[in-house]
Amino acid sequence: MHLLILGATGPTGRRLLDAALECGDTITALARTPAALDDLADRITVVAGDATSRGDVSAAARGQDAIISALGTGRSLAPRELFDRASAAVLDAAGEQGVSRLIWLSAFGVGATFASAGPAQKIVYRTLLRSVFADKKIADDRIRSSGLDWTLVYPTVLTNGPAKGEYHVADRLRMHGAPKISRADVANFMHQAAHGGEWIRRDAVITD
């Protein structure tokens, strides 16, 4: 399968690259800092560009079977409209290049998933993560209303631990306590979703 991965230099994106390489996919990564992927230069195609640029995404999306976004804000919680701008660019590029499959990483607590969160989670979502989650919601709503075969992925708190291979995933999950899930398990799920049709036009809430 030919995959375009956005956010490949981030902690979840790198695990997504691992999953796709293990499967034998043909991978293109769009990155603002291509040098960060020099260790994989002989195994993937790295395109210099910005995920918020329609032109950059369109050029990288040519000939792809699916686009998988693992974009994140890193350590910065400042509102930068990253997800709003990137989703607009990706949808335009996908339409231009005829790519119908999109897997998009969001976060549990965004949009309708907020209602299923526990009391402690809701406090964090309403305060510390308020701006970022508002940005993510704009992107999610835009993707959901598009004509693409999308999957929106809503993980709970992400950890850097190894993949367990066992987790809970459903359109809706009621949360208790402080649920977490490893980036590796989320990446593996996203990769599997790209290869199958079970999660097309569905929200996927995922946690340990």
Q: What is the mean pLDDT of residues 42-68?
A: 97
Looking at the 3D structure of the chain, how many domains does it have?
A: 1
Q: What is the mean pLDDT of residues 161-175?
A: 94
Query: Which pLDDT belongs to residue 149?
Result: 98
Query: Which pLDDT belongs to residue 178?
Result: 84
**Rounded Cα gap, residues 152 and 114, in angstroms:** 15
**Rounded Cα gap, residues 71 and 12, in angstroms:** 8
pLDDT bracket for residue 30 (50, 70, 90): very high
Tell me what percent of the residues of the chain surpass a pLDDT of 70.
98
Give Dmax over CA atoms of the chain in angstroms: 47
What is the residue whose two structure tokens read 């704009």? 138
In which element (H, E) is residue 180 found? strand 180-182
Query: Which pLDDT belongs to residue 78?
Result: 46
Using the predicted structure, report yes or no on whether residue 77 has a pLDDT greater than 50: no
List the CATH number of the domain containing 197.
Answer: 3.40.50.720
Query: Which pLDDT belongs to residue 75?
Result: 57
In which element (H, E) is residue 97 found? helix 82-97
Mean pLDDT over each residue of the chain, to the nearest integer = 95
Using the predicted structure, report yes or no on whether residue 175 has a pLDDT greater than 70: yes
pLDDT tens digits, 80-125: 799 999 999 999 999 999 999 999 999 999 999 999 999 989 999 9
At 8 the three-state DSSP class reads coil
Structure-token pair, residue 76: 């910065």
CA atoms within 13 A on the CB side of 49: 23
Helices 82-97 and 130-144: crossing angle, nearest 10°?
Answer: 20
Provide the residue range defining the domain that includes 87. Answer: 2-207
Q: Which of 43-57, 73-87, 165-179 has the lowest mean pLDDT?
A: 73-87
